[in-house]
Amino acid sequence: MDTAPAPAFSVGLTGGIGCGKTTVADMFGALGASLVDTDAIAHALTAPHGAAMPAILGAFGADFASADGAMDRAKMRALVFSDPGARARLEAILHPRIREATAAAAAIATGPYTIFVVPLLIESGTWAGRVTRVLAIDCPEEMQVARVMARNGMAEEQVRAIMATQVTRAQRLAAADDVVVNDAGLAALRPQVERLHAFYLAESRRIAPDRGVK
């Protein structure tokens, strides 16, 4: 099942691990944008009693559930990084459910425009064609590594292994219509977000003047 059409004006927000996607998305949300976070949807699907858990356990076995019934993320991460077939099986379970939940969330969005937070937007090959603009959150790679190590307690080689599965910084920037640079703290982020929010509001009014822009 594919997604329903995106709202008249929509933004696909992406960035490498540790770039600060959630921080920036939350700033847009505070300004009135509707947010649809595909990572949050995936986490809900694989939480205890999540809608994807029966299929995951059927495909991978009970060993891939934690004590509370959620997907054992560390164990699954280790498997899919070492076994492309396992990665494909997991994606076949999750991706259709994520698409369906994303479409449902977008259908009830009430903001003047919708931001889809999609970590692997460029890698997916399809998202860029489903949104009006692509927004990349950018920072130096060494900063990505340091942030993820501090946040998740991962070793540097683990972080770099994840980064190696993502498009390069140069590829992401080349695919983006807009860029927010997140290398100097919240005070430097806010004016960038406010400027883009004003632009997105103007574009949403131009494309859909009757959408109830505040």
The pLDDT of residue 129 is 87
The pLDDT of residue 181 is 97
- Does residue 46 sit within a domain? yes
Looking at the chain, which runs of residues are DSSP E strands? 10-15, 34-37, 114-117, 133-138, 178-181
pLDDT band for 213, please (50, 70, 90 cuts).
Answer: very low
pLDDT (mean) for 29-48: 96
The pLDDT of residue 207 is 82
Q: Which domain holds residue 151?
A: 10-207
| 110-135: b (≥16 Cβ within 10 Å) or e | ebbbbbbbbbebbebeebbebbbbbb
- What is the reported pTM? 0.87
- Does residue 3 sit within a domain? no
pLDDT band for 214, please (50, 70, 90 cuts).
Answer: very low
- Does residue 123 sit within a domain? yes
The pLDDT of residue 133 is 96
pLDDT band for 158, please (50, 70, 90 cuts).
Answer: confident
The pLDDT of residue 209 is 63
pLDDT (mean) for 33-55: 95
The pLDDT of residue 206 is 87
DSSP state, residue 3: P
Kindly report the average pLDDT of the chain as a whole number: 91
- Does residue 5 sit within a domain? no
CA distance to 8, 36, 210, per residue, from 39 (Å): 23, 9, 31
- Does residue 48 sit within a domain? yes
Q: How many angstroms separate the CA atoms of 16 and 20, rounded?
A: 9
Given a cut of 50, is residue 82 above it in pLDDT?
A: yes
- Does residue 60 sit within a domain? yes
- Does residue 201 sit within a domain? yes
Output the CA angle 50-52-53, nearest 5 degrees: 70
Q: How many angstroms separate the CA atoms of 34 and 112, rounded?
A: 8
- Does residue 2 sit within a domain? no
Which residues lie across from 133 on neighbouring strands? Answer: 11
> Tens of pLDDT along 113-145?
999 999 989 988 788 889 999 999 999 999 999
